[in-house]
Amino acid sequence: MLTIKEKGLLFYIIKHCLRVEAKIEGVSKDAFLNNEDIKEIVCFNIFQIGELAKNFSSEFLLIHNKVPWKSIKGMRDIVGHG
């Protein structure tokens, strides 16, 4: 059973994923690389997803260990610092 906090975190992670999906739908790699606005929106949402993922308890992460949480959080660091 998910806690209210976990449900909220998952809700916002999904919200950010959908925002990225909507922004890049039909956009070629070249168009993406040449559009600063799209890159900024995508990077912001990836950053937010990583931030949210850092708020799950270690118990939650162990139960849901098929999700690449470390990679998700690591991508946040790449976007935030790279």
Confidence of residue 1 (pLDDT cuts 50, 70, 90): confident
What total number of domains does the chain contain? 1
Res 22: pLDDT: 97
Residues 45-48: contacts with CB under 8 Å, at least 24 apart: 45/16, 45/17, 45/19, 45/20, 46/16, 46/20, 46/75, 46/76, 46/79, 47/76, 47/79, 47/80, 48/12, 48/16
| Per-residue pLDDT tens digits for 11-70 | 999 999 999 999 999 999 999 999 999 999 999 999 999 999 999 999 999 999 999 999
Range of the domain at 22: 4-81
pTM of the model: 0.91
Res 82: pLDDT: 79
Mean pLDDT, range 67-78, rounded to an integer = 95
Res 4: pLDDT: 97
